[in-house]
Structure 1
Amino acid sequence: MHVSSVWLWCGAVLLGALVASQFFQKPSRAFLWMLRGLVVGCLLMVVVDVIGSYLGFHLPVNPVTVLAAGFLGLPGLAALAVLHLWVLA
C-alpha cells in the first residue's frame, strides 16, 4: 500500500470512530450533528459552485464531498479545492 493511502485510511477510521462514539453516547444529538453537517456542507458547496462558476472552477457534489465540507467546515472545503486542483492539474 502507498504511504498516502495509509494516512487516508487512518483518517477515515478515526473519523468513523468519532462518529460511532458520538452516536452510541447520545443518538439523537449525534443524528442532529450529522444532519447539521450535511446542511452546512450542501450550503458551502453551493456557495463554492456559484463563485467558482465565474472563475471556471467546479467541485463535484457527491456524498463524500458534502460530508467533508459539512464535518470539517471551511478547512475541509479548502482541502477539497486543493485536492481537486492538485489532481486535475
Structure 2
Amino acid sequence: MHVSSVWLWCGAVVLGALVVSQFFQKPSRALLWMVRSIVLGCLLMVAADAVGNVLGFHLPLNPITVLAAGFLGLPGFAALLVLHLWVLA
C-alpha cells in the first residue's frame, strides 16, 4: 500500500497544530517538557557515545539526533542506533 506524500504532510500539519495548541494553552509546562526532553536526549547521546567508544562505533552528537532522542524518547534513541548501524555497517 502506497501512502501519498499529501497524507503525510496533512498528518505532520495536524501533529504540529496539536503541539502548538498545547504550547499556547500551557506555555510553561510545554517549555519545561521541551527543555527536559532535550536534556534527556543529550544525556542519552553522551552515554551512547561513551559506550560506543568502547564498542567501536560513534553516534554523532548534533541538534537533529539530540532532538530525535529527546522528543521520541527511548524508541527514538533506539531508532537512531539502528539507523546508524544499518547505514554505516
Fold shared per TM-score above 0.5: yes
Superposed counterparts of 1:16-35, under 5 Å: 16-35=16-35
Cα shift readout 1:11-53 (whole Å, capped 9, x = no counterpart): 7556534432221221111000000001100000011000010
Q: Which runs of 5+ in 2 are unaligned?
A: none
Map of 1:38 onto structure 2: 38
Whole-angstrom distance in 2 between the partners of 1:37 and 1:87: 26
Whole-angstrom distance in 1 between the partners of 2:61 and 2:8: 20
* Identity %, equivalent residues: 80
Superposed counterparts of 1:7-22, under 5 Å: 13=13, 16-22=16-22
Q: 1:18 to 1:53 in 2, by over 3 A?
A: farther
Whole-angstrom distance in 2 between the partners of 1:13 and 1:34: 19
Superposed counterparts of 1:4-83, under 5 Å: 13=13, 16-83=16-83
* Aligned residue type for 1:85: L
Corresponding pairs, count: 86
TM-score under structure 2 length normalisation: 0.79
Whole-angstrom distance in 2 between the partners of 1:11 and 1:86: 27
Q: Which runs of 5+ in 1 are unaligned?
A: none
Larger gyration radius, structure 1 or structure 2: 2
TM-score under structure 1 length normalisation: 0.79
